[in-house]
Copies of this chain bind each other. A is one copy, B any other.
């Protein structure tokens, strides 16, 4: 009799597992069969290209996503105020090699975020090439003063994960210009941090210490970096004329855009799913991160269409200002704490809308293990990895207040840094099915986490 009971319990458990897999499968099938998020991304890219924080395009993107969610039969849609930086690129940059041997050669460059300009007359100076900061330090002030420093570090393609390739390069973009400034350089040109060899420059923010000198700083396309390298090798006396006119205006009021489905049992516990709404001003921001926003909204659509009533409140958040100062993410976490909210789980999509491979988890070992136990639900959908790692820039500030599990959607990384932070990040580089699998993956993990209560009590 006890044996029979045991068998019945096991069968019930099996049926339960089976029925959850059926919900997961229905979620993915729904995602793959829909083009709503994809078509909304098309409109976002076409109408709000270059939506850097503080720009009219960013304001339009706020309104567009608010309208999308308002039309979706959600329980509430609202804006969360946040003051954001207001840095402007100014006029298109000019960079010209002037060589007595090779003549004049234009380079495709783009100012780095937060860098100052050369003024309308530009600067002209000889060039010194280094591949890392140590080489710069060895040159010292004597070798650098009144020169333009050319940081030329090539990608190491031997890494499988292109985030590792990028990590090896981005340090120079962050710290190179400030270091060059400290030695008296007049400007800095940084080879774009990209896996591609094309003629697009890739921008991104650069960092200056408070009180440190800020000099005109640009990224040069990888093709341009090769031209400059070759010409320098043949004519070390060449100079570069550089003209950039970025400027900064006072911070402006902007918004995180939020839509919610309220929980049926534990409405006070929040599950956040998000991406960031701002992009760089030179880019349609399709993969980075228009897609992450549209996928997050799509999670709510899938819950509604599949008739899944979550126990907890699911909140889709379009964060503002990820690219420059992460004000939106910080404000979101601060307000959560100040308002006494309970947060249960958060996930972000900001690694491009490529085929999902798994989840990266920032959590205690117990919560990581609980999330890893969900892997079998995802392997039929091509996802094989749930591992400890970073989550997302915008949700990470929740860790300041909550001992909760944060996750990032991990996607195939091979193409991401071909387009990241460049004019090459266009809608036509997004594949509908790859993007929609991401919507499905996030909806499925939220469903499982919520339904199975695997992350312990809320906080």
Seen from chain A, the residues whose Cβ lies within 8 Å of a Cβ on chain B are 28-29, 32-33, 157-160, 162, 195, 355, 357, 380-382, 384-385, 412, 414-415, 418, 431, 433-434, 437
Q: What distance in Å separates the Cβ of A417 from its nearest Cβ neighbour in chain B?
A: 10
Q: Which residues of B contact A28 (CB under 8 A)?
A: 158, 160
Asked if residues B32 and A158 are in contact (CB atoms below 8 Å), the reply is yes
Copies of this protein in the assembly total 2
Q: Which residues of B contact A32 (CB under 8 A)?
A: 157-160
Q: What distance in Å separates the Cβ of A286 from its nearest Cβ neighbour in chain B?
A: 15
18 cross-chain CB contacts under 8 A? A28-B160, A32-B157, A32-B158, A32-B160, A33-B157, A33-B158, A160-B380, A160-B382, A160-B437, A195-B433, A355-B412, A382-B412, A384-B384, A412-B412, A414-B431, A414-B434, A415-B434, A418-B431
Task: Identify which of B33, B160, B415, B433 contacts A414 (C-beta below 8 A).
Answer: B433
**Interface pairs A-B: 7 shortest CB-CB:** A29-B158, A384-B384, A414-B433, A32-B157, A33-B157, A414-B434, A355-B412
- The CA of A434 and the CA of B195, in the complex, are separated in Å by 12
Extra A-B contacts (5), CB below 8 Å, given A32-B157, A160-B437? A28-B158, A382-B412, A412-B412, A414-B437, A415-B431
- The CA of A412 and the CA of B356, in the complex, are separated in Å by 10
Q: Which residues of B contact A382 (CB under 8 A)?
A: 160, 357, 412
- The CA of A247 and the CA of B30, in the complex, are separated in Å by 44
- The CA of A32 and the CA of B155, in the complex, are separated in Å by 11
Q: What distance in Å separates the Cβ of A265 from its nearest Cβ neighbour in chain B?
A: 30
A357, A412, A414, A431: which has the most chain B beta carbons within 10 Å?
A414
Q: Which residues of B contact A162 (CB under 8 A)?
A: 433
Nearest B residue to A384 by beta-carbon distance?
B384
Asked if residues B414 and A381 are in contact (CB atoms below 8 Å), the reply is no
